[in-house]
Amino acid sequence: MKAFCGGANPNTGAPDRLEDTEEYDYHQEIARSCFADMLHDSDRNQKYYRGIRAAVARVQARGERVVVLDIGTGTGLLSMMAATAGAHLCYAVEVFQPMAEAARRIVEKNGFSEKIKIINKHSTEVTVGTDGEMQTKANVLITELFDTELIGEGALPSYEHAHRHLVQEACEAVPHRATVYAQLVESELLSGWARLRPVEEAGLRLAPPPSVGLCAGAHSVCDVQLSQVPPGSFRPLGPLCTMFSVDFSKPVSSASQSHSSQFVALSGGRAQVVLSWWDLDMDPSGSVVCSMAPSWTYSQPEGAPWRDHWMQSVYFLPSESSVAEGEELRLTVCHDDYSLWFGLRSPSQQDSQPEAPPPRPCCTCQAHLVWTRPRFGELNDGRRTERYIRALRSVLTADSVCLAVGDGGLLPVFAHMIGAQKVFSLESSRMCRQVIKEVLEVNSMEGAVELLDIRPEQLTSGDLGGDQISVLLGEPFFSGGLLPWHGLFFWYCRTALAGLLRPGAAILPRGATLHMVAVEFKDLWRIRAPCAACEGFDVSAMDQMVQKSLDFRESREAEPHPLWEYPCRALTRPAGVMTFDFTQHVPQQPISSRGSLPLTRTGRCHGVALWMEYHLTDDITVSAGLIGPVSEQGACEWSRHRKQGVYFLRSPWETSASGAAVSYSFTFEPDTGDVKMDFGVAPQ
């Protein structure tokens, strides 16, 4: 039976009803997973293999029959490692049905069907006994239940249940132990992802609401490729601290706990951010360690393993504070069964207040529910703000009637400050309206911007007090957008509002250009690369499943990625390939663009990067992609505020700069707002 899931088309804003079947969900889950990245993580795989061989050997040395419980088996890889190492029987538990089926095929193809039993259940639903899925308790426990925050996939409840019901008291665990580390730092870059800073640009001064600065923020981890955050963009205020460890070979508790580390401040500054990552000890001696530490902690950074399934974490302290060099500080981490949070205390606070763990962060200002962390960074970008203010000054007059379209933006506030006669803003979200209202109140501009909860096509002249719009504003930014062309919703809004525009009304931005560049990724290619063999095992069934997902409808299109976290080399020059004129209506017929870009560098082309550049005026442009020229070697600098589109090629192209070119074909479909695309290699 078919079902339908509702939503709004991120371009047109029209209701979007997508056919939703089991097959659709399955393919989308596979297409967006990181299974290929994990299979390509040779550092992880080899260290798991070493830990498993050692654990099996320890049980064999006790004269016991080796029975393995593998929770979250995925492809069955770790169970096959255990069987190869000498395990007599492996119970491989996998709750995701398509993966469990793939594991069955992989296990069978590798000849382990008699030794490995696939159980398609959550481990907490597995039972032991004559009527259970397991005939006997295991004496080796193998798991891969971890995420960037270590415990975010429910590792602690799963371990707790396993030790109570599924494994023997003296079991061996792989990994044996996990250790969480943290470091207190000052960073204007990172703290700008959680705090709204004062605006002091082009003669305008705008203060943020105090409630935003005092708010502890959203309770969700900020996971990033910390290796791509330059060490020069933060200053360590303390040493790297060992916060806590979990011994997986012993009973584990999922109850909330707190752990503290006391240290002396290495330097003075603003305590703003905590950087965190973790290690896995694969054996009790700690001789086999799988580390999530960022590359700049290595003596040879280029030798650091890359992975996208486990990254590093940034935590924002509930409030910023000044610390002095040599001051004694206590950093505390708390965790429940799924998440971590941090707090900082000085000895003076400890003397005056009873010791208590920091409360779980909870947003009370609503801004952290309205603005994502990249959005905070975008609003705090002074250079970007200056361009918008300069563009506004060029189009506003004393009698301007402005209408802003977007989600939670500051442009309508700036328009009033510059001197527009009237300013209206369409804000469909109640929380957006509340946050902007508070910004206005804090800056003594109550009522200066009229916030309207009306869709563009429903707006009438009466809603504007009988006025017509002389300036239509947008960044564009819409919270539902992911891909670069989702900002074209502004164009649809402009078209819907055409009857309310004065003749000759200014449209800001005037238009946009879709840009592309063919690239060679340093590492990101791994998340879509086939892996027919892994550590000597045939995992081609996984490739077949991924390939099937790639043949599915959405997976053949571009996908969003924050490319500042994923270094790449440009193999062609960046170029605009399709232009959208916002001063005109959205056309009724498709727009197409075809051409080719000569290859200017040799390399392995993994795909095409795509982004929008918005033309605020004839001479002021804001890029949501490349923010600087490509270096001579092809290095690219990407905006941290927006995700770019990436079209991965089915197979990489080995390119030569002599006479070859990347051909492209784009078609904008106005009915759906989609941009269809195709690429190839053509002789020049």
pLDDT digits (tens, 9 = 90+) for 557-587: 899 999 999 999 999 999 999 999 999 999 9
Kindly list the catalytic residues. Answer: 144, 153
| 588-593 long-range contacts, CB within 8 A, separation 24+ | 588/670, 589/670, 590/667, 590/668, 590/669, 590/670, 591/667, 591/668, 591/670, 592/665, 592/666, 592/667, 592/668, 593/664, 593/665, 593/666, 593/667
- Give the predicted TM-score (pTM) of the model: 0.93
Strand ranges (E), 361-418: 401-405
Q: What is the 3-state secondary structure (H, E, C) of 70-103?
A: EECCCCCHHHHHHHHHCCCEEEEECCCHHHHHHH
Q: What's the start-to-end Cα distance of the chain, in Å?
A: 51
Does position 491 have pLDDT exceeding 80, yes or no? yes
pLDDT band at 220 (very low <50, low <70, confident <90, very high): confident
Average pLDDT, rounded, for the chain: 92
What whole-number percentage of the chain has pLDDT above 70?
91
Mean pLDDT to the nearest integer, 84-92: 98
Q: CA 198, 223, 612, 667 torsion: positive or negative?
A: negative
User: What distance in Å separates the CA atoms of residue 8 and residue 650, rounded to the nearest whole number?
Assistant: 30
Side chain identity, residue 684: Q
Does position 355 have pLDDT exceeding 70, yes or no? no
pLDDT band at 419 (very low <50, low <70, confident <90, very high): very high
Which of 71-75, 192-196, 530-534 is least confident? 530-534
**Bridge partner list, 341:** 334
What whole-number percentage of the chain has pLDDT above 90?
85
Q: CB within 8 A of 203, min separation 6: which ones?
A: none
Q: Where are the alpha helices (DSSP H) in 497-537?
A: none
Q: How many residues does the chain have?
A: 684
591-598 sheet: strands from edge to edge? 591-598, 660-669, 674-683
Which of 10-14, 306-310, 429-433 is least confident? 10-14
Mean pLDDT to the nearest integer, 147-173: 96
Q: CB within 8 A of 410, min separation 6: which ones?
A: 199, 206, 379, 385, 436, 439
Residues 373-411: tens digit of each pLDDT: 999 999 999 999 999 999 999 999 999 999 999 999 999
Does position 22 have pLDDT exceeding 50, yes or no? no
Residues 628-677: tens digit of each pLDDT: 999 999 999 999 999 999 999 989 999 876 778 999 999 999 999 999 99
User: What distance in Å separates the CA atoms of residue 59 and residue 138, rounded to the nearest whole number?
Assistant: 11
Structural domains of the chain, with CATH: 35-174 (3.40.50.150), 178-366 (2.70.160.11), 381-508 (3.40.50.150), 511-522+567-683 (2.70.160.11)
Bigger pLDDT: 13 or 379?
Answer: 379
Look at residue 18 in the predicted model and tell me its pLDDT: 45
Which of 161-165, 191-195, 467-471, 680-684 is least confident? 680-684
